[in-house]
Amino acid sequence: MTATKPIDVQPWMNAPATRAVMDALSADGGEARFVGGCVRDTITGQVVHDIDIATHEPPDRVMALLQRANLKAVPTGIAHGTVTAVVDKEHFEITTLRLDVATDGRRADVAFTEDWVEDAARRDFTINALSMTMDGIVHDPFGGLDDLDNGRVRFVGDPETRIKEDVLRILRFFRFHGIYDKAGPDGAALAAIKNCAHLLPTLSGERVWAELTRIFLNPAPVSVLRLMHDVGALVHILPEAQHFDRLEALAAIEENGPDPVLRLAALIETDKAGALKISQRLRHSNHDRDRLAGLCVDGGMITEDITEVDQRRSIYRFGNPLYCDLVLLSWAEQPNADYRAVLAYGRDWPRPEFPVRGSDVLALGVDRGPAVGQLVEQVEEWWIEEDFRPDRAACLEKLRKIASNPSA
């Protein structure tokens, strides 16, 4: 039997854009409810970012109702019953009530239904199976409200069945456990995860990294990652994960909030080549790939007593942002040290730009070819040895001397 509970109507529920969509969907007596994260986050007092809506109206009817109300309707996933309404640049995902008729661990074939409980039964966790009307009546068919109150994350129905429907639910379990846990992990869930963890490599890298990112964004991700390791899940997606203590130390000293790529670098044991393989596996963006490789580069360990001269050389080599990240990783490796002065220097010393280009070499009459780059590198090495003091005129004079006499 579905339990109900009234809650105070929140401002986002009465916002003009929200009301326009809900009024359109109920114009002919149909029912629409808020579902998923917006309900869960409202109950727990968190900021609502995305508004998802469910209705028994079929998707073509949803399109017609929205268009009749002069609202933009986008058939984003109409075969699976999903239409997006766009009002004042705000997006509302509207899905017809449905049930899964076939699954393969990554996607599902669905049939539409008019039964709210059937729709809720296909969701992953009890806390995500809640729905709410415009007037704040929460419908709870599987005990999600009680689980939220007690800090439990439980699968709807049989955990192993839910996981085999979509293997990503393993990672989603750990993400939500990290956010809501007060009572310890659900035993039935962990048993099912142990049995199904070997299926994790069937997921796409993009989906895995998206969930890992959310786990890394948790203010204290280490307990979650340790649990993933202990039940045999982490090894299937990130076998390089070894340095839990280093990650915990990093989380205590980060200056700008959780940084998923930096936290990943703290957790893993690898070199630049290994980092590139991880990025390929997780389908990182080019930016994240290059950044992770830079964080795992040889020679990236910064000592607490590094001299200012060596700091300047390292900042020039890595750039200020990467250097500061390497300082944080080094500090996390030695948490009893004090790197505050080193970190401040890395932020404040402006990385200079080398004032010589290949065009300067060509202007001396040197033919195009490897010699051009070699001459630039020789002058740059001299400039670094001189602690970046020589200006452009001095560098060009050095270039002329080397070009005319390579032993100069």
Pairing relationship of beta strands 72-77 and 82-87 according to DSSP bridges: antiparallel
Structural domains of the chain in order of their starting residue, each with its CATH number: 1-150 (3.30.460.10), 163-283 (1.10.3090.10), 299-348 (no CATH), 358-404 (no CATH)
Give the angle subtended at the CA of 200 by the CAs of 198 and 204, to the nearest 5°.
Answer: 150
| pLDDT, mean of residues 364-384 | 94
Residue 405 — pLDDT band, cuts 50, 70, 90? Answer: confident
- In terms of Cα–Cα distance, which of 105, 137, 226 is closest to 174? 226
| pLDDT, mean of residues 108-116 | 84
Of how many residues is the chain composed?
Answer: 408
Residue 177 — pLDDT band, cuts 50, 70, 90? Answer: very high
- In terms of Cα–Cα distance, which of 138, 387, 173, 363 is closest to 376? 363
- In terms of Cα–Cα distance, which of 7, 23, 3 is closest to 135? 7
DSSP per-residue string spanning 31-52: -EEEETHHHHHHHTTPPP--EE
pLDDT at 359 over 60: yes
pTM for this structure?
0.90
d(CA 9, CA 257): 32
| pLDDT, mean of residues 185-208 | 97
Return the pLDDT at 173: 98
d(CA 180, CA 101): 31
Return the pLDDT at 349: 98
pLDDT at 303 over 80: yes
pLDDT at 105 over 70: no
244-253 and 260-267 helices, crossing angle to 10°: 140
Return the pLDDT at 407: 61
pLDDT at 92 over 90: yes
What pLDDT, in 10s, does the model give residues 29-85?
999 999 999 999 999 999 999 999 999 999 999 999 999 999 999 999 888 899 999
d(CA 109, CA 190): 27
Q: What percent of the chain has pLDDT over 70?
A: 97
β-strand partners of 108 = 103
d(CA 375, CA 363): 13
Backbone angles phi, psi at 255, to 5 degrees: -95, -25
| Average pLDDT value for the chain | 94
Q: Which residues are within 8 A (CB) of 250 and not within 5 positions of it... i.e. 6 or more apart?
A: 262, 263, 266, 328, 329, 331, 332
160 close to 195: Cβ distance less than 8 angstroms:
yes
Return the pLDDT at 22: 97
d(CA 151, CA 181): 5
- In terms of Cα–Cα distance, which of 135, 156, 133 is closest to 144? 156
Residue holding tokens 């404040």? 348
Tokens of 254: 């980060």
